[in-house]
A and B are shown apart, each in its own frame.
Chain A
Amino acid sequence: MSDTNSPGQPGSEDSGEKSWPEYLTGGQGHGDLPAGASAADPEGPAGPRRVIGTPSPAAARTLLPAAEVDGGRQVTPELPAEPDDPSRAKRVEKVVAACFIIAALAGFAFLVFYATIGVGSITSVLHSNLALGGSMALMFLLLGIGSTLWVRHLMPTVELTEQRHPMASTPQERAAFKETFQEGADTSQFVKRPIVRRSLMLATVPLAVAPIFLLRDLGPLPGTSLDFTVWRKGQRLLIYGTGRPVTPAEFNSPGSIISVGPEGYLDDDDAMAKAAVTLIKFRPGELVFGPNARPGGPATPDKVVPNWTVDNIVAYSKICTHLGCPAALYDQNTHHILCPCHQSTFDATLGAKVIFGPATRPLPQLPIGVDSQGYLIALGDFNEPVGPSFWERS
């Protein structure tokens, strides 16, 4: 408790601290504030700085001195204690109280609903959400309405004016600051001793670079991994979802489309993010074959490679060449594949040539054939990288 009493004690205790009461008072006449607030004995050894004739600490017992001017601030008038319209205030008082009482009831209701309404099924979650949310919203709404009515009708209307001062310090203040700053710099010898300064700067260089090095193991280097998928020669095409292999005979209704992936990788999202394939069955004559396209060579941009189709079934990468979304929408009438993310549109009869949207390249075609048991298989990987463009792609 010793630290809460004895006004002026710090000053009398230690000559080294004698300056602090002056700092606090700033010569502005409320030096009694810290003293009076806790003065146990106004007549005691207290207040070595108190001059006879100044207000006694007892008079300054309150935290807020009655009259006070600080730093040029306008002395603000007292706020009125009575509302503008007392009779109205009397009515509003009841409304405010009613708001708060109902808010309290809504709050208790929230607790009751929490305790009584379980979750664990769609219906019960629906009920719980309505009950908890409804009571919570009602509580906050009434708290808000009550508080607003209180401010508007119970508190008197006041308008105070406060003066602004330019943000810029006065030239004297700036000069003083500059002086102090300069003194500090001089005292530190930072300017005078370049060897200290420069060696310190040198020492900070690794500090700045090290964090970048520390981030190196965030991931492996890309290498050529974006150029390839997991498709290999002879790998069966399995239907995504069921995991069954496909025969051309099963997949025989023209215009239909299925998503397939390589055998062994259907549950591997990293692999499927590049290897997902759309199989589309066409009527005879619908596919436009590229006369110059040859198996093994680069796919021509706008014609299906003839030797890579089986029974008018063609396989395209499902990964959009714009930003990698699954190009999942297919229109049977126009044979357009549409990516729902940014609407790149590919003509499936023309080697998935881009006919609209921001994608620049056709969807790569997967070379497919049939194995000895009649199931569709890949004849190899795509012969170009699938998915969005990247810097290393040539």
Chain B
Amino acid sequence: MSVERALEGTGVWLDDRLHGARGVRVLLRKVFPDHWSFLLGEIILYSFIILLLTGTFLTLWFQPSMTDVIYHGSYIPLRGLRMSEAYASTLNISFDVRGGLLIRQIHHWAADLFMAAIMAHMIRVFFTGAYRKPREINWLIGIVLFTLGMFEGLFGYSLPDDLLSGAGLRITEGILQSFPIVGTYLAFFLFGGPFPGHDIIPRMYILHVLVIPGLILALVTVHLFLMFHQKHTQMPGKGRTNENVVGAPMYPYFMAKTGAFFFFTFAALALAATFTQINPIWLYGPYNPVAMSADSQPDFYMGALEGALRLFPAWQWVFFGHTFAFNVFVPALLPLGIVFGGAAAWPFLEQWITGDRREHHLNDRPRNAPTRTALGIAMITFYGVLWAEGANDIIADHLNISLYLTTWIARFAWLIAPILAYIITKRICLGLQRKDRHLLEHGVETGIIRQLPGGEFVEETRPVDEEALAVLTSRSEPPPLRALEIPEAEVPAPGMRGSLGKVRERLYNVVTESIPLPDGHANGHGNGHGNGHAIESDGHGQESLPAGADQSGGTDQH
């Protein structure tokens, strides 16, 4: 009981100063919806925390210096070699600090997991439409975090100054040099003169351990605050509407679950670092500008950039005595520009096309937004082709095909595969919608065959249960195009006039293409306030249930 008294005492002491009882009480009961895919964001957060912890450990021994030293440490094969202090201190961490190798490997694995989880989380948010109003700001923050993560990772794995990462820096320098007009200056300012110089490691170090993590921490804080403030989205289900949040309270449920998840994330990273070697810089050797080995690969999140550089044709022009390295500048900026820029623009483009300015808190099932889903898959395919091309030498080696053939395939595939992916995905989504419609119209097959008095055989079906019904009928129908026109007037509304209006009308028809729900399940079209869903429009939903039951419980002859 003394624990209780101590807690109470502490609480009172704090509340006397902070007036927290009311606010914190609300916070403790804050409801968190549950779905496995919501854990992806937590993986990002926990990898980031683990990165901060392990990274701090590493700074205690790492020397961000490019001063030449002769190595005399424990790793015998490299003894007597000239190398930078940065490389020597990384060897020291790996071989002479207890737990150093483990923490270094956890740090590297956590960085890869951080980026992988960001990708997975963004994919989840995109396909469920969770980026829609009011969450556009958090979507944009996410894209900035992804970009920052790429730079943070690039700078981080370049710090040990090993042969592999040194080549990465050389490529970075080459990319900077390709920028028209300012490129050479950018490269000289970043490297403090000609490559490699003696400044790049200390400069990347301060960016890597202070500036970028600080920005990431600040943005993560805002991201989480907005998620708290706007309340998490939820997946469709029985009793879940656009106006409520259904789930377990933060205290104790979410806290315990998320704590467990932190442990699992740490355990997974510790397992990976124990049993799988990552970035064995002692095998690569110290950086020198003369040597390079085959099968050189950047970390996976730089793979798409690497692939774009590999597949782009050798186009370059000289204008008025100036070289425009189109073959570097364009693949370095355009493909990732399309992915990030497209992702950033899409929520606003979609709003403009559909005229949908309502709040959305109930997630879409990907199939119910066929065009969005198809666009997302097309983008992933685009990125994926570039990413695979970034490892084309490994692919060619393992599949025993010509290296140049892989590049030729990628040169066509990065343009054609996304289009095919779009078409196929859209067909699949529409097909799945038809399947849903069929389920609603005819019910679930039971496998029971019944003979009618007339001798006819029919299959028994039963109506879908309430939970499934809620899921199947959850749709956020866009406001009809008519709403954009002035009613009962022959002239189109201002937003629909002119060539831009025509474009918008055509895009509207593409973006909103969907298989309608069967009668009796459909969500009221153009439902003014718009947040209505079949499941919540009480009387409506109740009526439709027996109607569906009658229909599907009856005979279904096929």
Contact = CB atoms under 8 A, between A and B. Distances in A.
Interface string A241-267: 000000000000000000101000001
Contacts of A394: 318, 321-323
Interface of B: 8, 11-13, 15-16, 19, 21-22, 25-26, 29-31, 68, 74-76, 82, 94-102, 105, 134, 167, 170-171, 173-175, 177-185, 187-197, 199, 230-231, 239, 242-249, 252-253, 256-257, 259-264, 266-267, 270-271, 273-275, 287-296, 306, 309-316, 318, 321-325, 327-328, 331, 359, 361, 392-393, 403-404, 407
Q: Which of B100, B274, B331 has the most CB of A within 10 A?
A: B274
Q: Which of A137, A138, A329 has the most CB of B within 10 A?
A: A137
A269 B21 CA distance: 63
A13 interface: no
Contacts of A391: 177, 179-184, 322-324
A269 B288 contact: yes
B236 to A, nearest CB: 15
16 contacts: A70-B22, A79-B249, A137-B267, A144-B264, A151-B252, A162-B246, A219-B191, A220-B188, A226-B194, A261-B290, A267-B68, A269-B196, A273-B194, A341-B167, A387-B174, A393-B322
B30 A162 contact: yes
Contact of B231 (A162, A225, A270, A341): A162
A125 B102 CA distance: 9
Contact of B31 (A38, A161, A219): A161
Contact of B314 (A34, A38, A358): A358
Q: Which of B181, B188, B295 has the most CB of A within 10 A?
A: B188
B398 to A, nearest CB: 16
Nearest to B133: A167
A242 B173 CA distance: 29
B34 to A, nearest CB: 9
Contact of A360 (B68, B188, B310, B314): B314
B289 A159 contact: no
B322 A324 contact: no
A159 B323 contact: no
Interface of A: 3-4, 24, 30, 33-34, 37-38, 63-64, 70, 73, 76, 79, 114, 117-122, 125, 128-130, 132-134, 136-141, 143-145, 147-148, 150-151, 155, 158-164, 166-167, 215, 218-222, 225-226, 240, 259, 261, 267, 269-270, 272-274, 276, 318-319, 322-326, 328-329, 339-345, 354, 356-361, 387-394
A340 B295 contact: yes
Given A144-B267, A219-B189, A322-B309, 15 more contacts: A24-B19, A63-B21, A119-B96, A122-B95, A133-B105, A144-B264, A150-B256, A160-B29, A162-B245, A272-B288, A273-B194, A326-B290, A328-B291, A340-B293, A388-B177
- By Cβ-Cβ distance, the 6 closest A-B pairs, closest first, are A133-B274, A323-B174, A144-B263, A147-B260, A140-B267, A137-B270
Contacts of B321: 394
A323 B309 contact: yes
A133 B325 contact: no
Given A119-B100, A132-B102, A358-B328, A161 B183 contact: no
A158 B29 CA distance: 12
Nearest to A218: B189
Contacts of A64: 21, 25
Q: Which of A118, A136, A240, A276 has the most CB of B within 10 A?
A: A136
Contacts of A128: 98-99, 101-102
Contacts of B196: 269-270, 273
A122 B75 contact: yes
B195 A324 contact: yes
A63 B15 contact: yes
Nearest to A147: B260
B175 A120 contact: no
Contacts of B13: 4
Given A276-B289, A343-B310, A391-B180, A270 B325 contact: no
Contacts of A143: 260, 263, 267
Given A343-B403, A393-B323, A132 B99 contact: yes
B167 A325 contact: yes
Nearest to A385: B323
A221 B192 CA distance: 9
Contacts of A329: 294
Nearest to B311: A358
B188 A221 contact: yes
A133 B102 contact: yes
A8 B554 CA distance: 71
Contact of B274 (A134, A148, A215): A134
Contacts of B101: 119, 125, 128-129
A220 B199 CA distance: 12
B161 to A, nearest CB: 10
Contacts of B191: 219
Q: Which of B174, B193, B252, B259 has the most CB of A within 10 A?
A: B174
B260 A323 contact: no
B22 A33 contact: yes
Nearest to B134: A167
Contacts of B328: 322-323, 358, 388-389
A121 B8 CA distance: 54
A231 to B, nearest CB: 14
Given A159-B247, A323-B328, A33 B21 contact: yes
A360 B174 contact: no
A76 B249 contact: yes
A78 B328 CA distance: 63
B97 to A, nearest CB: 7
A389 B290 contact: no
B194 A270 contact: yes
Contacts of B22: 30, 33, 70
B260 A119 contact: no
A153 B187 CA distance: 59
Contacts of B249: 76, 79, 158, 160
A76 B380 CA distance: 43
Contacts of B188: 219-222
Given A70-B22, A120-B74, A360 B98 contact: no
B342 to A, nearest CB: 24
Contacts of B134: 167
Given A133-B270, A269-B196, A276-B289, A341 B296 contact: yes
B510 to A, nearest CB: 29
B189 A215 contact: yes
B178 A390 contact: yes
A98 B216 CA distance: 38
A304 B167 CA distance: 28
B439 to A, nearest CB: 25
A291 B467 CA distance: 82
A21 to B, nearest CB: 11
B266 to A, nearest CB: 4
Given A144-B267, A218-B190, A322-B327, A155 B185 contact: no
